[in-house]
């Protein structure tokens, strides 16, 4: 186990940076939209919240998925990245029978040859009772 003082030194060396943009929804809890450590960006799970209004896109799964992807894109852009930088995604669904529709929209954002690693899981519930949440990990690529 790393001693606490060593963890702080490592974080200082790696320059932990909080990523925030008004073009993505405000966090609805004690977390940040994104955290960049070194060359890696960790984007918090995004739901179909409309930035600024904090209202939900709902009743249309395609539009909900597009809003989630727009929220992720806004955070990526703030960190000077794009979907090409995404190396890992996690998709949480409240109902796995929605997988095909969500996957179709999600797929528009990635080049299939360079698509990120991913897992998709069904969960019993999600924040604000939405049908999907997606988080990503991205990395600066030389």
pLDDT in tens, 35-66: 999 999 999 999 999 999 989 999 999 999 99
Compute the residue count for the chain: 142
Q: How far is CA 8 from CA 14, 18, 59, in A?
A: 10, 16, 45
Query: How many other CB atoms are found less than 10 A from the CB of residue 92?
Result: 20
Q: What is the mean pLDDT of residues 15-28?
A: 96
CATH topology of domain 4-139: 60s Ribosomal Protein L30; Chain: A; (3.30.1330)
> Count of CB atoms within 10 A of residue 100's CB?
9
Position 67 confidence tier, pLDDT thresholds 50, 70, 90? very high
| Predicted TM-score (pTM) of this structure | 0.90
* pLDDT tens-place string over residues 84-109: 999 999 999 999 999 999 999 999 99
pLDDT attached to residue 142 = 83
Residue of 127, 142, 14 whose CA lies nearest to 71: 127
């Amino acid at each position: 186990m790393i001693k606490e003082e060593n963890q702080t030194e490592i974080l200082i060396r790696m320059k932990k940076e909080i990523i925030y943009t008004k073009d993505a929804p405000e966090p609805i809890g004690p977390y940040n939209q994104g955290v960049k450590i070194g060359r890696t960006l960790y984007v918090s799970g995004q739901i179909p919240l409309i930035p600024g209004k904090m209202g939900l896109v709902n009743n249309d799964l395609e539009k909900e998925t597009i809003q989630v992807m727009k929220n992720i894109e806004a955070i990526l852009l703030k960190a000077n990245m794009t979907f090409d930088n995404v190396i890992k995604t996690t998709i949480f669904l409240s109902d796995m029978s929605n997988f095909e529709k969500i996957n179709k929209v999600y797929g528009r954002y990635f080049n299939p040859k360079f698509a990120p690693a991913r897992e998709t899981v069904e969960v019993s519930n999600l924040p604000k009772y939405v049908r999907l949440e997606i988080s990503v990990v991205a990395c600066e690529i030389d």
